[in-house]
Amino acid sequence: MNGFEKNFHALVVGANGGIGTAICDQLSEMENCISVVNLDRRAYPEFDLRDEQSIAKVTDGFRAKGMLFDLVFDATGALEIEGERPEKSIRELDPLTMAAHFSINAIGPALLIKHLSQIQPRSGRTIFATLGARVGSIEDNQLGGWISYRAAKAAQNQIIKTAAIELSRQNPSSICVSLHPGTVDTKLTRKYATSYRKLSPSEAAEKLLRVLGELSPEESGFQYDYAGIKLPS
């Protein structure tokens, strides 16, 4: 049971990432998932979240082929950008690095919603899910640090909420959420969270797809963790 009553088409953005690859694998095994399209820089070398034209071009290509996606799963994002480790202190803050975090972790998902929601059906259950992070929760912030990544992920949550309101006016059955995948063993965490038990990408993907399957349109606009718990803003 995956929450889609009928057959559905899926698009996975960042399909070459650690979690993205596992999401593609698991979708491919679902009986009612009739197609899974991978959108990443391997399949589309010109694609870049920091370049709106590249997102528009890929979207136009799908539209020209009459492709519609019931599920768009955005598995992109970055913690280290161009070798810059996340800040431990505000004294390490660099405006260009901070802007790069917003570009990839907040504006990127916003542009994906802007363009890819246009190639989602206007009726019936549709989902746009993007990978957020618990550290983007302002209320939950106990430790400080990682200010650029945290701030961009917090902005991503506002983008999701705002877009969810608009998308639900176009299609009351739409769902637009961000998901915290847990601490997952991918290249993003290789140097970090070494003392935590990490989920394997396939464990995380299974849990995240189960959460999506159980969400209703009334729960759109928020961030949920891999157990389906709504996270504080």
Ligand X SMILES: NC(=O)c1ccc[n+]([C@@H]2O[C@H](COP(=O)([O-])OP(=O)(O)OC[C@H]3O[C@@H](n4cnc5c(N)ncnc54)[C@H](OP(=O)(O)O)[C@@H]3O)[C@@H](O)[C@H]2O)c1
Name the CA dihedral angle for 222, 225, 230, 233, rounded to a multiple of 10 degrees. -60
CB-nearer residue toward ligand X: 80 or 92 = 80
Cα–Cα distance for residue pair 99/110, rounded to 1 Å: 15
Site string for ligand X, 12-51 (x = CB under 6 A): --x-xxxxx-------------------xx-----xxxx-
Task: Give the pairing of strands 8-13 and 126-131.
Answer: unpaired
Minimal CA–CA distance to 152: which of 167, 133, 165, 166?
A: 133
**Which of 11-19, 60-68, 114-122, 159-167 is the region at the interface with ligand X (rule: CB under 6 A)?**
11-19
* Residue 146 contacts residue 135 (beta carbons within 8 Å): yes
Is residue 183 involved in binding ligand X (CB under 6 A)? yes
* Residue 61 contacts residue 43 (beta carbons within 8 Å): no
CB-nearer residue toward ligand X: 149 or 217 = 149
CB-nearer residue toward ligand X: 11 or 78 = 78
The interaxial angle of helices 147-170 and 108-116, nearest 10 deg, is 20
Is residue 78 involved in binding ligand X (CB under 6 A)? yes
Is residue 76 involved in binding ligand X (CB under 6 A)? yes
Structure tokens at 25: 């694998």
Query: Measured from the CB of residue 189, what is the shortest distance to ligand X in angstroms?
Result: 4
Query: Measured from the CB of residue 181, what is the shortest distance to ligand X in angstroms?
Result: 5
CB-nearer residue toward ligand X: 45 or 95 = 45
Specify the residue for token string 């916003």.
110
Query: Measured from the CB of residue 40, what is the shortest distance to ligand X in angstroms?
Result: 5
Structure tokens at 42: 């391997």
Q: Would you tell me which residues interact with ligand X (CB under 6 A)?
A: 14, 16-20, 40-41, 47-50, 75-79, 104, 131, 133, 180-181, 183-184, 186-189
